[in-house]
Structure formats: C-alpha cells, structure tokens
Structure 1
Amino acid sequence: MKNKSLQIQFNGILENHNFATHRYLLAISGGVDSMVLLDLFRQTSANFQVAHCNFQLRAEDANGDEEFVRNYCGLYNIPFHSVRFDVAAYQKTGNYSVEMACRNLRYDWFAEIQKINQLDFLVTAHHLDDNLETFLINLSRGTGLKGLVGMQIDNGRILRPLLEFTKNNLLEYAENNTLAWREDYTNATDDYTRNKIRHHISPVLKEIHSQFDENFLATLNHINDNYLIVQQRVDEITSGLFTGTNPIKIEISELRKLNPLATYIHYLFEKYNFNSPNEIIKFLDSETGSEIKSTTYRLIKDREYLLLKSIEEINDNEITILNDFIEINSLNLKFVKSINPHENTTEIVDFTSISFPLKLRKVKEGDYFYPIGMKGQKKLISKFMKDLKLSKLEKEQVWLLCDQNDDIIWVVNYRLDERFKTTKTSKNFLNITLC
C-alpha cells in the first residue's frame, strides 16, 4: 500500500465503495486538500458536481476563492454550485460560535443541493491529520469510546476518501502534479482550537515517534473494531429488552440487571437523544406517570415499565358532528342513523336521547359520566381510566363523544354512558362503527 501512488490508492478506495453506482457532491473550498480531492475525482469516471461556500469572512480573499473554484470547474465542464452566507446574521439566531455557524450553514446547504440534484453522497477532503485533531479535541473535552472513533470514510451520507492520507501526502501529490490552490491566511493563526493543535501539538507527537501517523491510524482501526463489538452487544440487548415500536416498552427489572448500568443506559438511549445516563437511573425510581424528555423522545414511567415514545404534536382539536351521517377519518369512526340497529357496529346509541351537534374531544379535568351497567352511578373519567390501568400514553389517546350539552355519550372504544343506551322502546338508532 505504501509503495502505491496516491492516485492508485484513492481509486481503490472508491472501488471499495462502489463509486460507479453513486452520484456525488464534492465540497471544494479551493485549499490544497480540496483541490487534490477534485483533481483525483476528475481523473476517474465518477459522476460528480462541485459545491463551494463563501462565508464572506475574509473580504476579497473569500471572493477570490469562489472565483478560483468556479473557473476550475468551468475549464473542465464540471457542474458548479456556490452560495454566499451572512454568518453574523445566522449567529444572532442562536448561541453559535463562528465555527458552528459555518458548519450548520454549509451542511444544510449541501443537503439542499443534494436533494435538488439527486446526489447520493457528500464528499469532503478530510484527511488523517484532521482525524487526529478531532481525536485530540474530543479527548480534551472528555469523551467515551464513540468520541474516540473519529470520522469514518463512509458513514452512509458522507464519503471521506482521503481519510487515510496525511497532509504531507496531499501536499506532495499537489506539488508533483503542479496543482494550483488558494491559501487561507486564517489557517496560520491560533484563533481556533483546531489550529492550535495543528501548529503546536501534532508536530510534537510526530517528532516523538517517526511512525506516529501509521500508529495513530492503526489505533483508530482498533478503537473502531472495539466499538463495533460494543454496538453488537447493545443491539442484542435492545432486541430482547425493547419491545414494540411507538411506544417502545422496557421492563425496568430487566434493565436494572445490566452492569455497569450507567454505561449500558448510555448506549441504549443515546440514539433517542438522552444524554444523561444518571438522569435515567434516577428516573427508574420515580412515580408512575412521571416523564422526562429528550429533544425527540419522551420516556414515561408506567408501573414496572418505561415507555419510550417519539415526541409528536398532540391533536387536541375538537371534531364537530353536525348531522347523523359522517365519517371521521382521523379516528376511523363512522356514524349512521337508522330505524333498525345495524349489525357489526361498535356501539349503538338511542338517537332520541341525543341532541346535535355532537363533538369528539379529549378528556378534561373533572369530566364524569354514568358507565353503562353501573345502575346510574356517576364516575370520574380519570378514575375510570385508572381502574382500567391505562398508561399515561393510553390516557392521552382517549376521546370522548359528547352531545351539545357536553354530556358524555361514549368514552370512545371503552364504555357507553347509561343515559344514552338503547331500550326496548327505542325507535331510532345512531350506529357507531370503528372502521
């Protein structure tokens, strides 16, 4: 591998990732790394386009970079996309550093260009030195195994075919092939954490050991292999412990058997954006009905179980039923008046006992009804649901059918009200069918 030219190694990487079956968007800044990437791609049969971001942070230098990449693509008839960002304006929309603002802006734009042009992969010019800097940044901040894995050549969305090459490898290629590129003067400053590592830490590590780059790459591969083993074990546990879909049901007693518990909880819940294992451990002892939230999921305590449900917009809108024939598609309900009760209906109501318009609504505090079969005894809906041992999520999904006086006719799918049941003297019926 070491004796092969960089172009041959690069072509091998693309072959391993079935490059002929995909379409690519190359993120090209105009610097030496990205121009090497562009030159290497240009010499293959890959189907690709180029995208360039102008963040307007370096006045005319930034405009010069944009023009440089545009001219290169024009020379070789490569489809070119460019955009100019107002970074300062974006920073005002949230608590973003310049680095984070630029990252968010460019990746959102890249995704948009990919969607419009049906491009499968974004391709970046990240190399081994970038991975070392990321590794050291994560290490300095305190991280778990995942934070040490580093960037991947292919993560399913982004392809980084230069990731096993060093900066020196790329510079040597550029010089040997007389490539032109643009220098970003900010790379020579120590204004950013990554630059400080690049200028003051990485050189010392490479000076200490002449084979540091090869050793670091081998270490990353070992960490990746270990992380894969961890993920396989987590997947095995998830398949046995997490049942159902939405909500997912998790038996607390089985969860507690895992050791070390905090580490397992971290891996089991991280994809649901829960970032504090200790918060979840404490939550295991909370009361039924308690819940905690991540940005995307709710975790609810339901007696001996946890319920994990995606956060969705709760539909609290009332649905009005103006006449005696209507279909409520969102609830799969059908209402039909008849002079004889229909067969295979879910519930049948005495039509003369109800007054239109009817409405379907969610449960409110203090709601009560007279459950059929209880001889006229009044019961709070909250007590009724508790006796049924409905979970918090199930309670949230309960609808009530009420008349114009807001008297509850039916706890939908559960129990009819005694006052609206049919009798031997009933002559007109409202047939309610769950479709």
Structure 2
Amino acid sequence: MTVKRAVSLQIFGYRLVGRGKSSVIYIILFALLIIFMFADNIISNISLHSAAFTKKEDSEVLQTPKAIRKLKTDATPVPFNISTQKKIIKVDSENQNLLVSSSGVREEQRIGRFSRKLAEYEIFKSDDLTKKFHGRVLEFFNQKCEVHFFMTWISTAVSFGRREILGVESVFKAHPHGCLMILSRTMDSAQGYRILQPLLDRGFKVLAVTPDFPFLLKNTPAEAWFDDMKGGKKDPGEIPLAQNLSNLMRLSVLYKYGGVYLDTDFIVLKSFRGLKNTIGAQSINTVSKKWTRLNNAVLIFDMNHPLLFKFIEEFALTFDGNKWGHNGPYLVSRVVHRVEGRPGYNFTVLPPMAFYPVDWTKVGSLFKMPKDRADSRWVEAKLQQLNGQSYGVHLWNKQSSKLVVEEGSIMGRLISENCVLCKHIYGS
C-alpha cells in the first residue's frame, strides 16, 4: 500500500508538475499571442499611416498647377517665382490691359509672321502718291491758312463716319480760314473725296494726303528704326502696328512742318490761334496741382521744335509694341517729365480743362439727356464751364464710340453749337 501510494503520489505529483508546466506554457503562449497581435496592430497602424501619408502626397501632386508639376518633372527646371511670372504676364494697372511678354520665342514668331506679311502693309508702300506727298503739303499750306491742322486716319474710308465728320466740322466752325490735312492713304481716294465733298463745296480747306513715311522720318532718330521695321527686322508687337505708326506720324509731321495735331475724336470749341508750343495734361495731382499724365491727342508745336525731336528719339529707343499707350500718351509724359524746366525747351503744359475736361471714365455722362430739373441745371453749368475754360473736348472714342448722342445732352448741345453742316447730330 505504501508502495502503491507512493506510486500514486508520484504519478499525481507528475501530473501536478505537468499541469503546472502546461499552465505556464499556456500563459507564455497566450502572452506571446497577445504580444504578437499587439505588434501586428502597431505594424498595421504604421503601414496605414504610411499609406495615408503617401496618398496625401499623391493628392497634393495632382492638385498642383500643371506649370509647377512640369517644373518638377522637367529635365531642365526653371525657377518658378514672382519675378518670373511678371516677365511672362503683366497687367497695366491703370488701363487693365493684359500685356503680352516679349520673350525670345514670341518675338521670333512675331517677327517671322510680320516679315511674311510685309507686302500687305500699305503704309510701307512707296508709289506715285507717296512721292507727291511733300509737294502736295507745300502747295496746300501755301494758301492763306489761319492755322495749319493735321489729323491721321489709319482705318478704312468707309469707317470715317458721322462722329469724325463732326470733329472736322468743329475745326472749321472755330477756324473758318484754317487748313486741315488728313494723313491717310484710304481717305486719299475717290471715296474719301466724296466724304469730304460737302465741306469742300462750302469753301473749307480740307485735303486727304497719302503720307511718305521715309521722307517724314529722314534725318530723325526714328529713320533707322523705320528702316529696320520695314525690313522685317523688328518685333511689331501684339498691338496693331498702324496704331503705333500713327503716334509716330503725328510727331514727325509736326516736326517737319509745324502746326496743330488733333485726334479725330476731338470737338473744337474755340480758336487755337493764341496757342504756341503747347501740350495738354490729362490729369493732375489735386493737392500739388502738378500734372500726373499728359496726352498726345492734341499737340501744338513749331517745326523743328526740340521737344518733338526728343519725342521721336524716345519712340525709336524705347518702342514696345505690346504695351498700349507706351509709344503715345505715356511717351510724351516720360519725356516731358525729364526735360521740363531744362534750358532750350520752351513749351507750355495746359491743365486738363483745356483739352481733356472730362475723364475717360466719365465721358458717358456727356451723352445723356437730362431727366429732371437737377440734371438740366448740371448740363447748363457744365456747358458754361466748357465754353469758358476749354479749347475743346476729347471724346475718348475707345469708350464713347458706341454711345448715342441723346437730344438735350451736353454732347448734343456742343455739337449743334460747333458744327457747319450740322447733319446727323444725334445717334451713335
């Protein structure tokens, strides 16, 4: 029995030990399982976080502008910064015009396209009409002219409409013995002659003449510039070249002959006889009363005036066919700012009321008929101011060409009081 019990205890003890060992093993295995599951969860979280981070990066790349993505993948990266952007696109803050860059590739493209189409530019042509230009000018102004006037017209003859005719009429209303020459190949035609015929029939001295650019620019700083442009060696820019050549033409014709240049969208209110070597301010500083912007819609100068020479020189040296106004109003402002007050330059800058009494942003008010008594009083007061202080009114045709001249409006009154044919006053 003792032996049996001993054996039983031994067996029992073994079992106890076996059970104990098994429990420990189970505990260890369970602990390892917990650790493994915990570790797996950590690894999974890390993987998910990594995947989420990678996805976010991919998303950001997809939302990146194409220009920047291209720079990231380009073999030859170009720095993308504010200064680079400004070289690509600029905005004229005063006129809100998009200015196209003059990058090398674009310049080459424009010059190539321009060179191929040079034959289509009539303004570069030399023919019998251009050869007669100087003789016709001398013969025309050999008459007893009260004042010598010039206008330019770069559009078709048929587009020389009622508004332009009214501008011409106003010249002769204020200067019955004045002489007006219109520099224009299109108006120097049978159709142009028919348009001006009613004025000629009334004895007014008006003539359309085809200009000779090489002759006008001979011995001026723009002579070489014009030759290069005519030879297809210069970039004409995105703005129509004829528009910029009109800016140059007015300067050169005054430099060669002297006189008064007027835009066709200008209504003359009184005689210019007392004006000499004069340019008008478009805007002034209300505090200092100094001009802030000049304009070239009205120019009055003696022949060979040094300021005109500087204008032509500036045109040739700084020409940019991509910026509206750069070769026109802004040009005269730049030059006068530099030379004003220097000896040898004798000229006068008149305040805005002289030629630009109404800002281009407000010109529409001149075309509206009065709707009540307050409007009528304003119209009368404005007319009195204009007739007393202004030589004329620039109509800013770019803004007003589509506006209708309403009966009873300031424009209607000004035109009716300063016309000679006085037809078709009201309307657009």
| TM-score greater than 0.5 by the shorter chain | no
TM-score interval (norm. to shorter): under 0.3
Identify, as 1 or 2, the structure richer in strand: 1
* More contact order relative to length (CA 8 Å, sep ≥ 6): 2
Taking structure 1 as the reference length, what is the TM-score of the superposition? Answer: 0.23
